[in-house]
Amino acid sequence: MVHVLFVCLGNICRSPMAEAVFKHLVAKEKLEASIRVDSAATSGWHIGAPPHPGTIAKLKEYDISTEGISGRQLQKEDFEEFDYIVGMDENNIKDIRQMLGQPDHPKIIRFLDWTEHKKDVPDPYFTGDFQETYDLVLEGCDALLGKVKLDYKEQL
């Protein structure tokens, strides 16, 4: 089984949106038995909280469920458990590397690295633009799923 973890600052906007969208895409490809998806925060501010109301509302527009998603903080054990640890922006990547004690490991990746967008996913908690975030998350999830399918084609 392939394990994918999305990480952002608070785990209520971007990373749970990516978790929900990626799960949706994985289900469409009928790969639920082969790919596990989760999300986490670099901070401890929203542990146990549901996704932000703006994230929930935006995902509902696209019939994507947030059921079972709640905030949690990144743990050192996540490094061993997950094959891809995906930070939503460069600050998240720096924090992930520091928190996990892995200054430059290839399983720690920036979310949009497989897209034409060589930038960070803006945090809608601050921008209020959940549509922009959704559009980038969808594009990034499509690209990441393609990479996972290529990297693990023998196992999927």
Residue numbers annotated as active site? 8, 14, 123
Is the distance from CB of 13 to CB of 54 less than 8 angstroms?
A: yes
Q: How many residues appear in the chain?
A: 156
- CB 6, CB 22: distance < 8 Å: yes
The counts of H helices and E strands in the chain are: 6, 4
Tell me which amino acid residue 46 is.
H
Helices (H), the chain: 14-28, 53-61, 77-81, 90-100, 124-127, 130-151
Handedness of CA 148, 87, 20, 77 (dihedral sign): positive
Tokens of 139: 């594009």
Half-sphere exposure of 98 (CA within 13 A, CB side): 8
